[in-house]
Structure 1
């Protein structure tokens, strides 16, 4: 494993931070209604002649192009934890339930933290899909009842051919892995570069910022037509800086990997950290405006909203 891409903390440091910061900022339930929209199921179930992406919530995005349907880090249940208590439940429901989805061809998993790898959701999909997972997670998936033939385990920079039109590459990230007290960094973590015919997409998963790393990703697997970049769970910065990017750093990633159009994810679902719940997209738009970015380069969308990728990017009414 490449330790330069490792970020980790400890329970005692986390507990000390929680005691210092106190309760999470409050959430006005009425404001939650402003960040969700009813998905366009007619569009989602129609042929994808152009690439499109629908934000299901948190880090879960449905990517469609041609005959291919992909999910990133699917989480369709209420708890980002091993048990149904202690951690706050999700504040916004998935835009589509498991039962409402189109048939999924394959799923990419960025790492094994509970808000990205939900064992309940894995059992919903089971052996109906191909699972692309980081090195070290094949054994865990087999314990969930997934057959070895449906699990593709990858090390950083390793590429796999799904079919003649689709190539999937596991790219690095600055993060860490842990699911129990005994398995810290026993499996890899990372991001995913996906090529479907003439369309290129990058899914960031969870990551802190490293300029050299993301420029390398852009040089080796970019440029990208679409990037799904995390912008939330960054506060307080003295604790989260080495684990999660903030909106300003997300913009740097957008530049580094050479993305034509980027959509922010990893906010608006779970309250995992201490920044105000609705701050990430507001801060992102403020920074983009101050830097005179074109609105169609990087913009927030609502949970349930679909973006169709075309020359010049898309638009949003958020």
Structure 2
């Protein structure tokens, strides 16, 4: 690691921290950053606590959570599991000018953009630590995937960073991760890991990967709270077609800022589930109405809901996120065809010759 990389990392951290302080006198947003080298070795702060947009729960909140115990739906809320939308189909045929998305479940998507196949937060396991088994199967069999050209990770929570799934990948697969997370991949022998700070970018075969802020946090063990960053990804091909993958996030000011810096988002993949009880989860998980507001803040042409119908992570009825997001979309007066409320396993083609 060079002294130059240390200096660059600390400067970037200060800039990203400054961006978290909204000001009516702030200058116009700069254009997207120049791409950084792939697999660059970086030095980062030990903690990213200063990036939190809300404090993590304290002892009083933990005590209330333990007392109320509202972490799963009741029997009525689980009764609709057989009705959850699940319609696996073949992946669409694409070329380098076509953008297509396939929902594998939860926050896992198969993105086809700029001739690349990109996986987001790939979780193909039936079960993750501390959570009941999936309530819908994976929408895309692993064996049906084309060669995976890249993976993007939003943060290190177990339902977004799944070691058994990642072990299925060749170790030279390019992986794009938040600042501070490359070490986890290096320990597992991945050789092309690019970690980025907020508002930084890298490029692979003509497709830009920009890492952008989210309202969330990170933790994987008892001792690593906020030791790595969290965020979403904006992918842009050579024709300017643009996808936004939010990862896991609450609602807040970042969406409008992302939309201003990356105008013309064609499709926003936004989380709509794991939101109840609100007093516990509102800072880190959007509810369906907030997700629709986020899509509007982003200026996105279309929205595809995710982060529901796969794992039971909270107390809302399993079908409620879908009914509420549809109602919120209609109430906002947005074109129905631009809400891509897809079943698990389904695909949509954004554009192409």
Which residues in structure 2 correspond to 1:194-209 (within 5 Å)? 194-198=235-239, 199-209=241-251
Contact 2:71/2:313 (8 A) holds in 1: no
Is residue 192 from structure 1 mapped to residue 233 from structure 2 by the alignment? yes
Q: 1:80 matched to which residue of 2?
A: 128
Deviations 1:214-271 (A, max 9, x none): 1111111222011100111111001001111111110111011110111000000000
Displacement of 1:34: 4.2
CA–CA distance in structure 1, aligned partners of residues 52 and 200 of structure 2: 16
Is residue 119 from structure 1 mapped to residue 163 from structure 2 by the alignment? yes
CA–CA distance in structure 2, aligned partners of residues 187 and 303 of structure 1: 30
The 1:23/1:64 distance shift into structure 2, 3 A limit, reads closer
Is residue 60 from structure 1 mapped to residue 101 from structure 2 by the alignment? no
Deviations 1:12-55 (A, max 9, x none): 845641540446223556643541002224x2x55465211000
Unaligned 5+ residue runs, structure 2?
1-12, 18-49
Q: Say which of 3, 20, 23 aligns to 2:68.
A: 20
Contact 1:6/1:176 (8 A) holds in 2: no
Displacement of 1:10: 5.7
Displacement of 1:4: 4.9
Deviations 1:126-146 (A, max 9, x none): 414210000001111111221
Q: 1:70 matched to which residue of 2?
A: 118
Q: Give 3-state SS (helix, strand or coil) of 1:309's partner.
A: strand
Is residue 236 from structure 1 mapped to residue 236 from structure 2 by the alignment? no
Which structure would you say has the larger Rg? 2
Contact 2:94/2:112 (8 A) holds in 1: no
Q: Say which of 40, 44, 66 aligns to 2:90.
A: 40
Deviates most, 25-34 or 265-274:
25-34
Unaligned 5+ residue runs, structure 1?
312-318
Contact 1:168/1:195 (8 A) holds in 2: yes
The 1:28/1:174 distance shift into structure 2, 3 A limit, reads closer
* Number of positions where the alignment pairs a residue of Structure 1 with one of Structure 2: 301
Deviates most, 3-12 or 62-71:
3-12
Displacement of 1:197: 1.7
Contact 1:159/1:170 (8 A) holds in 2: yes
The normalised TM-score by structure 1 is: 0.88
Q: 2:212 matched to which residue of 1?
A: 171
Q: Say which of 314, 328, 331 aligns to 1:287.
A: 328
CA–CA distance in structure 1, aligned partners of residues 61 and 182 of structure 2: 30
Displacement of 1:5: 3.9
Q: 2:99 matched to which residue of 1?
A: 51
Is residue 252 from structure 1 mapped to residue 293 from structure 2 by the alignment? yes
